[in-house]
């Protein structure tokens, strides 16, 4: 598929995946339009200067008129819907904004795509393994129902159901990508285990684990996720891809203590034992994905091992933290508002 001059709309462009997806699309010559709610100079999209190479639409997913205008005025061909409130604990503390962004935001965008189906030829919706909810049977496969129970999980279940509704009722060319825990440079949500552990070790502090350390997860490197989203977009209109959901995982599940220990080893800081807080609540204990469908229908496989992905990630944070270390802790380590 030729991306040169193709008009592409990316929501959630300042997030970890959005930033690297935009970079890849720019490298391939696409005309990228980004939806930006809040300006944060520390995000990778801004820090790298890539935002200056995109057409920026300022606004929120909750505003249908903004989304409709973006698609119409920029004559968008391809949509990557990554925008969401992405933090489980944030949704737990106050679910309404998460429901507004993740559910209303999704149906607003899908409806705008339906209205402008003469322009929009492919839509990739970023989802999560959280959409499956808690299951006694693992790994998750795509034939399992979406049945989230906690606020964030419910918002992702609804996202998936809305996407499938528009695909099957209105024949909108939509596909859904479900990933586990995504890590990589540019994630400034320090409550997440990978960036939080790297920052703590870089500062010479013991990393903190909110759970008991035994929750198991998939961990997938952001560049593998970008590969997955592009593969879906390029095959979106094909039989067996259109109107389907796909799991993406390296299929090497770990518990929280295992990934913490791996980061300690790669940073040569095994002397700093993690602090087990055991405070996690309303979180699914074990989650991991089967990716055989993506291998068979898309030819997708993770290119990065855990060590190679984490090594690149650690180098990104070392550079980032070195440049921000002369600023105040509150300034240099603040988290951006989710997009």
Q: Which residues of 15-32 are buried (b: 16+ CB within 10 A; e: fewer)?
A: bbbbbbbbbbbbeeebbb
Which pLDDT score is estimated for 326? 55
Residues paired with residue 248 on neighbouring β-strands, in sequence order = 179
Above 80 in pLDDT, residue 165?
yes
**Angle 225-227-228 from CA coordinates, rounded to 5°:** 65
Positions marked catalytic: 152
Helices marked H in the chain — which ranges? 16-27, 44-47, 64-73, 88-93, 95-99, 105-115, 151-169, 193-202, 222-235, 256-266, 292-298, 306-324, 329-332
Predicted pLDDT of residue 275 = 95
Per residue in 79-119, pLDDT (tens digit) is 999 999 998 889 999 999 999 999 999 999 999 999 999 99
130: CB partners within 8 A, 6+ apart: 88, 148, 152, 153, 156, 157, 284, 287
Query: Residue 337 has what pLDDT?
Result: 36
pLDDT digits (tens, 9 = 90+) for 233-278: 999 999 999 999 999 999 999 999 999 999 999 999 999 999 999 8
Tokens of 56: 């920026």
d(CA 312, CA 199): 14
* Amino acid 308: pLDDT: 98
Instruction: Match 């790298």 to its residue by tokens.
Output: 48
**pTM attached to this predicted model:** 0.94
Question: In this model, does residue 339 exceed pLDDT 50?
Answer: no
Q: What average pLDDT does the structure give for the chain? A: 94
Can you say whether the dihedral through the CA atoms of 98, 114, 164, 248 is positive or negative?
A: negative
> 65-81, pLDDT tens digit by residue?
999 999 999 999 999 99
Closest by CA position to 260, among listed 179, 192, 319: 192
Using the predicted structure, report yes or no on whether residue 331 has a pLDDT greater than 70. Answer: no
Q: Is the peptide bond before 181 cis (omega within 30 degrees of 0)?
A: no
CA pair distance 190, 164, nearest whole angstrom: 33
Domains and CATH numbers, the chain: 7-182+219-248 (3.40.50.720), 184-216+252-285+304-332 (3.90.25.10)
């Amino acid at each position: 598929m030729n991306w040169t001059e193709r008009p592409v709309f990316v929501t959630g462009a300042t997030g970890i995946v959005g930033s690297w997806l935009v970079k890849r699309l720019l490298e391939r010559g696409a005309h990228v339009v980004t939806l930006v709610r809040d300006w944060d100079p520390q995000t990778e999209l801004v820090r790298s200067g890539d935002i200056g190479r995109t057409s920026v639409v300022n606004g929120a997913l909750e505003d249908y008129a903004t989304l409709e205008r973006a698609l119409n005025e920029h004559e968008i061909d391809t949509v990557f819907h990554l925008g969401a409130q992405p933090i489980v604990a944030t949704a737990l503390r106050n679910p309404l904004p998460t429901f507004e962004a993740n559910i209303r935001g999704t149906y607003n965008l899908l409806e705008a795509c339906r209205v402008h189906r003469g322009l929009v030829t492919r839509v990739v919706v970023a989802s999560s393994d959280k959409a499956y909810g808690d299951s006694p049977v693992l790994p998750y496969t795509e034939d399992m129902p979406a049945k989230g129970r906690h606020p964030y999980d419910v918002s992702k279940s609804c996202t998936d159901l809305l996407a499938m509704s528009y695909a099957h009722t209105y024949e909108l060319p939509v596909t859904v990508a479900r990933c586990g825990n995504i890590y990589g440079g540019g994630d400034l949500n320090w409550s997440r285990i990978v960036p939080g552990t790297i920052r703590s070790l870089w500062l010479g502090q013991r990393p903190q684990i909110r759970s008991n350390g035994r929750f198991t997860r998939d961990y997938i490197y952001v560049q593998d996720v970008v590969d997955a989203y592009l593969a879906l977009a390029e095959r979106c209109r094909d039989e067996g891809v259109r109107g389907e959901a796909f799991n993406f995982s390296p299929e090497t599940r770990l518990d929280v203590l295992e990934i913490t220990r791996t980061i300690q080893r790669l940073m040569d800081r095994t002397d700093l034992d993690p602090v087990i807080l055991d405070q996690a609540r309303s979180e699914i204990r074990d989650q991991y994905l089967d990716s055989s469908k993506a291998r068979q229908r898309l030819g997708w496989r993770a290119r990065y091992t855990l060590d190679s992905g984490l090594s690149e990630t650690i180098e990104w944070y070392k550079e980032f933290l070195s440049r921000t270390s002369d600023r105040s802790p509150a300034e240099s380590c603040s988290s951006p508002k989710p997009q």
